[in-house]
Amino acid sequence: MGTKRIFDRVVLTTIVVATLWCSVAFGSVVVPTGMSLGGDSPDNHVVSGGAQSDIAELHQADERTADHKETTSGTEQTVTDRSYPLQSVITGTVPGAIRQSQLASGESVRDAFTQRKKVAMGDYLAIQLNSTELTTTLAEADDPEETFLGILDRTELSIAVSIASRSDAVAVDEIHQSGGLEVVPHQNETTFVLLDVGAIDSLAVDDNGVPMNLRIDSSNTDPIEQTKVVVPRQATFERSADSLQLRADPNQTIRGHSTVAPGTNLTVVTRSEEGAPFQITEQTQVGENGSFELQLDLNKSSAGTTFSVSISNESLENTPTIDGQIDSASSADIEIGTDSGQSQGQIVVSRANLSDGGFLAIYNGSYLSNSSSVRHEYFRGVSKHLDAGETEEIPIRYDPSGTGNRTIVIVAHHDSNGNEKFDSNNSTLDTPYVGADGGTEMDITQVAISNNSGSGGPQFVTVINGTAVNTNGNSSGPVSDRNTHDKEQTNDDESTTPKPDGTETSGPGFDGALGLFSVIIALSLFVLRRRQ
């Protein structure tokens, strides 16, 4: 009898330990049927889900799916019996490549849509129909294009396109048969109808373009008539002379215009013809006004090198090319001088020589320890636009708060986009002049700020150091974009946050399997004991 009690205790202890082990491994407590731990009743354990529950949910899902199919089918059969009033209509263009890249969703069409009178061959004439009823119907349809054609055929909603070379109107169904129709419902009340003008039969386009008339009728509005101009797919480069002159500097800008839809990508290839060989391939995007631009890094090129620029784009009907030559690198020299004296609310630069013209901008001392992408945050003032060459006595407004001595930085900037306005909030425009060693052309100056005797006007600024420090020519060395970028603070989260190793994994693993095995052994011993 004592032996059996010992055996019973061993079995019970094994079950308890194995159960606790499983609770740790699996995140739940396993209690064999017919047994309880700590006096809990088996009736208190509720089984959630289970096979019967899952089967019931599947049956309900099947019934919902069947109801949905019946509803959809019924909707497609009765869509033409409804009325589709229009709240508004907007027309424009969308790049033809939107379909090729499989982006014909409501969001992508909305983002690519541009109101424009011209439509290039191969692009879409885009019609934005704002109608809750129409959008709801098309969103439920399996084939929006076929459903839309049915609505045009059987309701008062109609779209007609006509061109001078055809006596009859171009049916939307005809464009669809040529693969040129896309119908894209978006959100609750907007539907985009995209018509590929290149799919219109007998449409011949010359350099002047071809007028195309568009008419839209609906049950609740007067006819809407607009005239578009279909133009060939072309592009041209801007030039002020027979050839393009670029500096041996970074951020050299090439500009042009194109007839294609805004948002279209163009691949521009620049390759050397004579001199040190190079080839630069950049991609740019056509803007809303049809213009495009890109910037080239030519600071490693030699003066006198000739090159050609071309657009490598199979969708264009022409291959625009322009020749050019690289001139010597730009240069800038700034001198504040010892006789700048005291001025009210401004600093007067004694002399500056900017090879390409531009601006002189004032920054506080934090400019020196931050990357170029955020330096505009330390901007404090700028001169008027300066012509190329030497300029003397240049006033720059500077009215800091507080008093005392402080460091300011005066930087020479290009007028990169030629608008004679300083774009201080964009680190990619009006970039600083750089020297041969890559350092930014600047002067670092100590100034003293004093009160204005309570007059409420600008404070007095006095240059207190004898000679301004030019970082591009003195022993202090250049402050280049490359060097300051290396000083940026990095995110140490990855180095300080512990990462889980192979042992810290979620879910049951070997420990869980061992616990389950222990439960099975314990239950076997329990059954064996009962039989004895």
Q: So where are the chain's domains?
A: 2-31+510-531, 81-231, 235-327, 332-479
Residue 373's pLDDT band (cuts 50, 70, 90): low
pLDDT at 415 over 60: yes
The CA distance from 326 to 301, in Å, is 8
| Domains 81-231 and 235-327 fall in the same CATH topology | yes
Mean pLDDT of 224-252: 91
Fold designation for 235-327: Immunoglobulin-like (2.60.40)
Per-residue model confidence (pLDDT) at position 403? 76
Per-residue model confidence (pLDDT) at position 274? 77
- Over pLDDT 70: what percentage of the chain? 64
pLDDT at 143 over 90: yes
Query: What is the DSSP-derived secondary structure letter of residue 453?
Result: T
Lowest-pLDDT range of 20-24, 207-211, 245-249? 20-24
For 473-531, what is each residue's pLDDT tens digit?
A: 332 333 333 233 233 332 333 333 333 333 333 344 444 555 555 555 555 555 555 55
Per-residue model confidence (pLDDT) at position 495? 30
The CA distance from 524 to 123, in Å, is 76
CATH code for the part of the protein at 81-231? 2.60.40
What's the angle, vertex CA 69, arms to CA 65 and CA 73, rounded to 5? 170
Query: Quick check: 344 and 458 in contact, CB under 8 A?
Result: yes
pLDDT at 111 over 80: yes
pLDDT at 254 over 90: yes
pLDDT at 209 over 50: yes
Mean pLDDT of 346-362: 91
Per-residue model confidence (pLDDT) at position 221? 83
Per-residue model confidence (pLDDT) at position 379? 87
pLDDT at 147 over 70: yes
Residue 64's pLDDT band (cuts 50, 70, 90): very low
Mean pLDDT of 178-200: 92
Mean pLDDT of 343-350: 82
The CA distance from 401 to 399, in Å, is 7
Lowest-pLDDT range of 130-139, 156-165, 492-501? 492-501
Per-residue model confidence (pLDDT) at position 493? 31
The CA distance from 481 to 478, in Å, is 9
The CA–CA distances, whole Å, from 439 to 302, 379, 445, 483 equal 18, 19, 17, 9
Query: What is the DSSP-derived secondary structure letter of residue 250?
Result: S
The CA–CA distances, whole Å, from 390 to 68, 338, 419, 532 equal 78, 19, 20, 112
Per-residue model confidence (pLDDT) at position 256? 95
Tokens coding 209: 């373009």
What's the angle, vertex CA 302, arms to CA 300 and CA 307, rounded to 5? 100
Lowest-pLDDT range of 49-53, 340-344, 373-377? 49-53
Question: Which range in 317-321, 339-343, 460-464 is most confidently predicted, on average pLDDT?
Answer: 317-321
Residue 32's pLDDT band (cuts 50, 70, 90): very low
Q: Please, what is the end-to-end C-alpha distance for the chain in angstroms?
A: 12
The CA distance from 367 to 446, in Å, is 14
Query: Quick check: 432 and 424 in contact, CB under 8 A?
Result: no
Per-residue model confidence (pLDDT) at position 165? 82
Per-residue model confidence (pLDDT) at position 212? 94
The CA distance from 119 to 69, in Å, is 40
Lowest-pLDDT range of 61-65, 322-326, 384-388? 61-65
The CA distance from 511 to 507, in Å, is 10
Q: 454's torsion region: left (phi>0), alpha (psi -120 to 50) or beta?
A: left
Per-residue model confidence (pLDDT) at position 92? 96
Question: Which range in 55-69, 86-100, 113-127, 431-445 is most confidently predicted, on average pLDDT?
Answer: 113-127
Per-residue model confidence (pLDDT) at position 30? 40
Residue 352's pLDDT band (cuts 50, 70, 90): very high
**Residue whose tokens read 């879910």:** 507
Q: Coil, strand, or helix at residue 172?
A: helix
The CA distance from 95 to 212, in Å, is 18
Query: Quick check: 320 and 236 in contact, CB under 8 A?
Result: yes
Angle subtended by helix axes 144-154 and 132-140, to nearest 10: 130
pLDDT at 53 over 80: no
Per-residue model confidence (pLDDT) at position 102? 60
Mean pLDDT of 319-334: 91
Mean pLDDT of 141-161: 93
- Mean pLDDT (the chain) is 74
